Amino acid sequence: MGSCLTGVEQPAMEVAAVPVKGGGGRRWEEEAPGRIVGNGAGNVACLFTRQGRKGTNQDAMVAWENYNGTSDTVFCGVFDGHGPHGHLIARKVRDILPSRLCDLIYEDCGDSPTTNSDGSTLEENLSLYADAECGSPTLAGQKEHLEFFIAMKESFRKAFKIVDKELKLQLNIDSICSVTTAVTLIKQGHDLIVGNLGDSRAVLGTRDQNDKLVAHQLTFDLKPDHPREARRIRRCNGRVFTHQDEPDVARLWLPNCNSPGLAMARAFGDFCLKDFGLISVPDVTYRRITEKDEFIVLATDGVWDVLSNQEVVDIVASCSGRFTAAHSVVDLANEAWRFKYPTSKTDDCAVVCLFLNKNEVVSGLSGHPGYSPRMPALSGNTQPNSKRITPEDDDGGDSNVSGDERSLDGFARLNTLFALPKFDDTSPTKK
């Protein structure tokens, strides 16, 4: 894998296992180039993270080109740890989730095609588990492909479940009160599958009918006060309310103790809450990539708390070189933190930018390094203007709403508590 590095930064390259088919089973080769877990860039992706002012950098990230030993296939993910051991959990999930998912995809899906026998492609913007009730497009008359994408969804769900169980067995990581988010994707050819857990986010830069580059949110933030999430939590005797110091941040609490105050409804770890509504079931969606889709930005909430989806897309598009894009987003996010919240501690930021056409210049990107970021016009209000859409309110563990039907900017969060709060009052007023 070739790389184009900015300045003196070097990518953190790791040897990773690649599954090899045949021989009555699966074996693992010792070397597999293409996996980047630190600041740097590959052929189609660039990554950058910077520690905030809250302590250890608890964000982690990965981009794995030629994923599963398949050309034109990329796995990307960002992970945001919370709690005393959040940084360890984020890194552990980053290291083991891609391989577990790779195993399960091969077992569940094999070499199933993603195109019709006549060479035509599937419809655009499908939910992996679309049905008649949700109103999403379905694969009517294409049973083979519907079964394939259902299998992919199940692979994501099973992989997340396995990783969560493995975390619980880690003797050197205390995951009782520490967690990580995960927003992950697999791009293979023109097929894009996104699995989301928590409040990190994936945003697509795409062209509208007027050829304007616009932001389209591929995931929604899984917060405790979404109706579906809140109902599940309360059924399990967990509690959802805001603390007086952060009236805009709904948190998940134990039944009889004002702890730990987790600001998301789904995550890896935090096993003290797993009996009280916290789950590790990802929301999984599918999208057919078109020529109008130019790049995808995965980022932790340290970015989205201070920059809108459109601002991030504009920053990436304005870069003079595509391999400086992630660095530029983090630079501007840090500047926005100082501008909007001068008395708050800057959060950790991690960004992965995946460019969907490696053979062409994207938007204003020239392919040359040396971009000097310029602060975009900030409104001073972190709450976006777009209409908030609530995920489908059902009792299932998954959403039946595709990414196109739930485009939103989500919530802003002023402060993520590194040390999870514990309060003396055990009878707070619920939101």
Distance of CA 184 to the CA centre of its chain: 5
Superfamily grouping for domain 18-406: PPM-type phosphatase domain (3.60.40.10)
Q: Above 80 in pLDDT, residue 370?
A: no
CA distance 326 to 323: 7
Q: Is the pLDDT assigned to residue 411 strictly greater than 50?
A: no
pTM over 0.95: no
Spell out the residues 6+ positions from residue 8 whose beta carbon is closer than 8 angstroms to its own.
none
Q: Which residues in 339-367 are b (16+ Cβ under 10 Å) and which e? A: ebbeebebbbbbbbbbbbeeeeebbebee
pLDDT digits (tens, 9 = 90+) for 70-114: 888 999 999 999 999 999 999 999 999 999 999 888 775 654 433
143-169 helix and 86-109 helix, angle to the nearest 10 degrees:
150
State residue 151's pLDDT score. Answer: 79
DSSP E strand boundaries for 222-363 = 239-243, 246-253, 260-262, 268-269, 283-288, 293-299, 349-355
Is 83 within 8 Å of 178 (Cβ atoms)? yes
Percentage with pLDDT > 90 across the chain: 54
Say which amino acid occupies 383: Q
Q: Choose between 392 and 306: higher pLDDT.
A: 306
Among 35, 24, 139, residue whose Cα is nearest residue 95: 35
Domain boundaries defined on the chain: 18-406
- CA 135, 138, 139 angle in degrees (round to 5)? 175
Please give the C-alpha separations between residue 262 and each of 178, 198, 224, 238, 418, in angstroms, as whole numbers: 9, 10, 8, 11, 11
Q: What pLDDT digit, counting tens, does each position of 269-305 carry?
A: 999 999 999 999 999 998 889 999 999 999 999 999 9
